[in-house]
Amino acid sequence: MKLLRVGAKGAEKPAILAADGSIRDLSGVVADIGGETLGPMGLETIRAADMTALPKLEDGQRVGPCVANVGKFICIGLNYADHAAETGAAIPEEPIIFMKATSAIIGPNDDVIIPKNAIKPDWEVELAIVIGTEARYVEEADALDYVAGYCVCNDVSERHFQTERGGTWDKGKGADTFGPIGPWMVTKDEVPDPQNLKMWLEIDGKRYQDGSTKTMIFGVAKVVSYVSQFMSLQPGDIITTGTPPGVGMGIKPDPVWLKPGNVMRLGIEGLGEQTQHVRAYGA
């Protein structure tokens, strides 16, 4: 299933992309796409609904974040061998965990706003995991049982804030609009191998990232298991899993940074595409 949320900010309706390409309103079936709805019982309730009887939503409406009321927005850094190489970083011995503020979350096609005093804004197409079942101390062999599905995430970053302002990476990751997710959350039954998905990102029509989840250092199951050793995972939590090469900071000899007026397009095989226009703060 491809689950999404449609409507104005703060007034999104839960919806599903039907087989005929129409978007159907799930408001009469579930309250929203998030929390308990993403557990096995909630997803089964949606599967059991008669798609042909659900109201069609009008085309052209805004698509909101595909998951509502995200509790934790967890990120794994330097998780692609080829991306680590382009940045000159050593391959991590264990997954690097940091957090994005949940206030960074926006819809997949909402504008991305460069924050005040930004010097080095950058892009990162990433596969995001959506948790469906509460998880604590999960074994890697069982980890996918706790996953509801997957979505596209653009882990927008400000590298000066992230690496040159002291402290942890979080300050370069959590600005408002730095977390577009969607367009859909695709249930895991439709993603038989999350470690074999093509992914790409373009700026103003020029392709910068063209990679695959094959080059992840720590795969989805390992990531879910590992994070659950340090914090419980709740339904609706998101873990975004790192980016392939081609980010702005990795371009030699002169890095490329986002600027107002840029248009980012990105996507992952089977999970849909995003488009964001970049604006300056206050513009």
CATH superfamily of 73-280: Fumarylacetoacetase-like, C-terminal domain (3.90.850.10)
The pTM score is 0.96
- Distance (Å, whole) CA 256 – CA 246: 10
Q: Quick one: pLDDT at residue 189?
A: 97
Q: Which of 77-86, 158-167, 263-272 has the lowest mean pLDDT?
A: 77-86
- Note whether 162 and 171 are within 8 A (CB): yes
Encode pLDDT of 41-82 as tens digits: 999 999 999 999 999 999 899 999 999 999 999 999 989 987
Reduce the DSSP state of residue 141 to 3 states and report it: helix
Domain regions of the chain by residue span: 2-53, 73-280
In 3D, which of 108, 20, 118 has the Cα closest to residue 62? 108
Contacts of 120 (CB under 8 A, 6+ apart): 158, 159, 160, 248, 249, 255, 257
Rounded mean pLDDT, 231-248? 97
